[in-house]
Amino acid sequence: MEILFVSHKFPPSTGGMEKHCYELLTGMEKRCKTHRLIYDSKGSRLLFFLSLRRKIGKICKAHPHIDIIYFNDALIATFCSFFKLRKHISYVVTLHGLDVVFPSRIYHKYLFNRLNFYNRMIAVSSATARKALALGIDPEKLAVVSNGVDVPCNRDTPECVFRDWLLTKRMDPAGRRLLLMTGRPVKRKGFSWFAEHVFPQLQEQFYLIITGSFHPRPTWTERFVYLLPNKWREKIMLFFGYFSDERRLREIIGQTNLIKHAGCLPYPEVELLYGKVDAFLMPNIPVEGDMEGFGLACLEASAHGAPVFASDIDGIPDAIINEKNGFLLPPEDAGAWAGKLNDFAHNADAYRPCKARFSRFTKANYSWERMVDAYHDIFKNLCVNRK
């Protein structure tokens, strides 16, 4: 079996789609012959897209035994659906979430359904699959394969080392319980919603840490985008991944010393936080035209032993099973979130056994190895059926 991987989402860029593509590609390299056509953040992304027809043709000519061309998201797959399909090759695409629900009638009516020209579509969650089916994707061609998670090494960082690390990052929780949120500050993540509506209701003393890309001051891009009409601004922000929640989050952080945005951190430092915080939060809220395809950060936190509190929305329930490896809460229900976290603080002994139990469940049921095995089976079946 020989596979060509085509993707514009790959490290050194960071994110769930980039992680998914990296793990799938490196895992598949151990099982079969692979070729890469990857945008690696060097040069223009637009030129990368415009050169795809020529480059795919060149690779297929040089390697005539390619069995499968794989696209890592619906955007690049839709773009390439206008190219001439090779009859002896099977085409596969992964659907993540935003690439399905992007708020554009033109995209949904004239472009998205072109994915049915391909042989197989693989959704990262049941929620993503339901959205795709509602938009006309052939159910016979659709499968669901959940993402995985890195299984961490059991390293216990001394408390004094962790305290020193906090000080180097200018964080002083002063004995308060630590809450953690990670990711890009986009509206669906619910960062500013939680900070504005839930955090003030927490009776126990908490300190909230947020990590991920963040600009402490407005950028020229942000100033320009906010000059646009709301209708266009929201679509542009979604399409390009601009930080739609950053402005409000910046205002809230400026009003308190109990919320700290640490910016982008190397993954070992994020792992350190996963293992040391009292709880990990994913308070997503509904946003029209956007969705959380899976909820990979929840799994990472859970695997490291952090109790996870997450919104019961979109693809998150595929990652977090209520009271199996975390707690699911109703989205945009500030009272429910505050009540649960206050109970967590006041009844710490009752929740303490959950850490190890939740971590074991996550490690036993989610792994990149299992994900790659599932993809390998799908690819292999396509090859067998073609022969």
Q: Which residues of the chain have pLDDT under 70?
A: 153-155, 235, 237-242, 387
The pLDDT assigned to 108 comes to: 87
- Tokens 């019961």 identify what position? 312
Distance (Å, whole) CA 157 – CA 303: 16
The pLDDT assigned to 13 comes to: 73
Instruction: Determine the Cα angle at 240 with ends 238 and 242, to 5°.
Output: 70
Go through 29-66 and write b for each residue having 16 or more CB atoms within 10 A of its CB, e for each that does not. eeeeebbebbbeeeeeeeebeeebeeebeebbeeeeeb
The pLDDT assigned to 242 comes to: 67
Phi/psi of residue 88, nearest 5 degrees: -85, 0
The pLDDT assigned to 215 comes to: 84
The pLDDT assigned to 320 comes to: 94
User: How far from chain centre, in Å, is Cα 324?
Assistant: 21
Distance (Å, whole) CA 70 – CA 87: 15
The pLDDT assigned to 154 comes to: 60
CB 185 within 8 A of CB 247: no
Q: Which of 197, 190, 150, 178 is nearest to 262 (CA)?
A: 178
The pLDDT assigned to 153 comes to: 63
Total Cβ atoms within 10 A of residue 386: 13
Determine the length of the chain. Answer: 387
Tokens of 56: 């795919």
Distance (Å, whole) CA 124 – CA 126: 7
The pLDDT assigned to 42 comes to: 84
Condensed to tens digits (0 to 9), the pLDDT of residues 311-349 reads 999 999 999 999 999 999 999 999 999 999 999 999 988
Tokens of 366: 């989610």
Give, in order, the Cα–Cα distances in Å from 93 to each of 8, 73, 84: 13, 6, 16
Which domains are present in the chain? 2-148+367-386 (3.40.50.2000), 159-365 (3.40.50.2000)
